[in-house]
Amino acid sequence: GQSLEQPSEVTAVEGAIVQINCTYQTSGFYGLSWYQQHDGGAPTFLSYNGLDGLEETGRFSSFLSRSDSYGYLLLQELQMKDSASYFCAAPDMDSNYQLIWGAGTKLIIKP
C-alpha cells in the first residue's frame, strides 16, 4: 500500500542540527513536501523536492533521493521555536494525486 514512514519523535539540543527522515511508498512519484505544525496550530508548508538533491530555505533544507524512495528535512541552528511536529507528504496516483501524509515527527528541543 501507499505509505510514508517517519520517526515518531526526535530530540535535539538548541543550536544543534537535526535530521528528520521520511521513506515513502507511493503509486508513481510526484514530489515530496514538508509541513510544520506547532501544538494547537495548523500545518504550514515548509519545502518541496520534485527532483533529487538538496533544497535550501534559510535554516531549513530538504533532500530527496528518488532511487532510494527517501527524503529528509534538515534543521540547522535549532531554536526553541522549532519545537513542533514535522510531516512529510506526497501525492499518490491511487488517491487521485492527492497528498498522503506521514504520521509526523515530534521534534523536542532541549536548552
Q: Interface with other proteins by CB under 8 A: which residues?
A: 29-31, 33, 35, 41-45, 48, 50-51, 87, 91, 95-99, 101-104
Tell me the closest approach of the beta carbon of residue 27 to other proteins, in angstroms: 13
User: In the complex with other proteins, which residue's Cβ is closer, 39 or 81?
Assistant: 39
Nearer Cβ to other proteins (68/77): 68
- Taking the C-alpha atoms of residue 97 and residue 33, their distance in angstroms, rounded to an integer, is 13
Q: How far is the CB of 63 from other proteins (least distance, A)?
A: 14
- Buried b / exposed e over 64-94, threshold 16 CB at 10 Å, is bebeebebbbebeebeeebbbbbbbbbbbee
Find out whether 80 and 111 touch, Cβ atoms under 8 Å: yes
Compare residues 82 and 92 and give the one whose CB is closer to other proteins. Answer: 92
Least distance in angstroms from the C-beta of 49 to other proteins: 8
Q: Nearer Cβ to other proteins, position 15 or 41?
A: 41
Distance CA(31)–CA(12), nearest Å, equals: 27
Residue 14 Cβ vs other proteins, minimum distance, rounded to whole Å: 26
* Cβ atoms 77, 59 nearer than 8 A: yes
